[in-house]
Chain A
Amino acid sequence: SSELTQPPSVSVAPGQTATITCSGDALPEENTYWFQQRPGQAPVLLIYKDTQRPSGIPERFSGSISGTTATLTISGVQAEDEADYYCQSADSSSTYRVFGGGTKLTAL
């Protein structure tokens, strides 16, 4: 299966740590990417190849992988981090791409 499962929502107090999970059968073999999307804007790549951070992305964003679950961790959540977050990977043949359903992060 190439489906990716994310929790619909995550809430965290400002300054605390948020974790967003992404589960999929192909994740042990395929790279996971994470995107942030603010309302009315195009997605922005936060993490590539499971754990790597593009230049310009703050260090408080980090990625990890364990078996069939990838995790995006946001340390010291700020109000500006309120957004939708999507994981993305590929099917086991690396032919198709797939997005998770998205997680809405709320900073309480």
Chain B
Amino acid sequence: QVQLVQSGAEVRKPGASVRVACQGSGYRFTDFYIHWVRQAPGHGLEWMAWIMPGSGVTRYAPKFQGRITVSRDTSISTAYMDVRKLKSDDTAMYYCAATYFYGMDVWGQGTTVIVSS
């Protein structure tokens, strides 16, 4: 079946970096956008970026431009999001989502990132 599986929870200190991985299976990974969305505890969904895996083209929300990088490795059907200079308010659940058929209709299970000294 079509699914996205994300990497496990991470704990980082302020100022550090983190990489979250998102592996697709059950479909042609290169053909569908991957979006990154985060949700801080008790808050709503926040769109961060998208990547078109086939071309590698990316777009970032202005808020995150310069502090995050989205990439992919098509040989293993995996997208990555790197977040640098972490702050405490980056503590959140990070999701990847694919626009497979209707829109953001396939979601990963989420990756918890905790930023704490």
- Whether A42 sits at the interface, judged by CB under 8 Å, is yes
Q: Is A95 an interface residue (CB 8 A)?
A: yes
Interface with A: B7-15, B21-29, B69-77, B100-108, which one?
B100-108
Given contact pairs A42-B95, A96-B61, A97-B50, A54 touches B44 in the complex (Cβ within 8 A) = no
For chain A residues 51-83, which have a beta carbon within 8 Å of chain B? 52, 54
B104 pairs with A88, CB closer than 8 A:
yes
What's the minimum C-beta distance from A64 to chain B, rounded to whole angstroms?
17
Interface hub of A49, A96, A100, A101 (most chain B Cβ within 10 A): A96
| B44 and A86 contacting across the interface, CB-CB below 8 Å | yes
Say how far A93's CB is from chain B's closest CB, in angstroms. 10
Partner among B45, B59, B101 whose Cβ is within 8 Å of the Cβ of A43: B45
User: What residues on B are CB-neighbors of A45 within 8 Å?
Assistant: 102-105
Let me know if B109 is at the binding interface, CB within 8 A.
Answer: yes
Verify B110–A42 contact, CB threshold 8 A.
Answer: yes
How many of chain A's residues touch chain B, expressed as a range?
A: 20 to 34
User: How many A-B contacts if CB must be within 8 Å?
Assistant: 57
- B110: chain A residues at CB < 8 Å are 42
**13 further A-B pairs in the complex, CB-CB below 8 A; given A42-B107, A45-B102, A99-B44:** A33-B103, A33-B104, A42-B108, A43-B97, A44-B107, A45-B104, A48-B103, A84-B44, A86-B45, A88-B47, A88-B103, A95-B59, A96-B59
Residues of A within 8 A of B (CB): 31, 33, 35, 37, 42-45, 48-49, 52, 54, 84, 86, 88, 95-102
B residues neighboring A (CB under 8 Å): 35, 37, 44-47, 50, 59, 61-62, 95, 97, 101-105, 107-110
Q: Can you give 18 A-B contacts (C-beta < 8 A)?
A: A31-B103, A37-B45, A42-B108, A44-B107, A45-B103, A45-B105, A49-B102, A49-B103, A54-B101, A54-B105, A86-B44, A88-B45, A88-B104, A95-B59, A96-B59, A97-B61, A99-B37, A99-B46
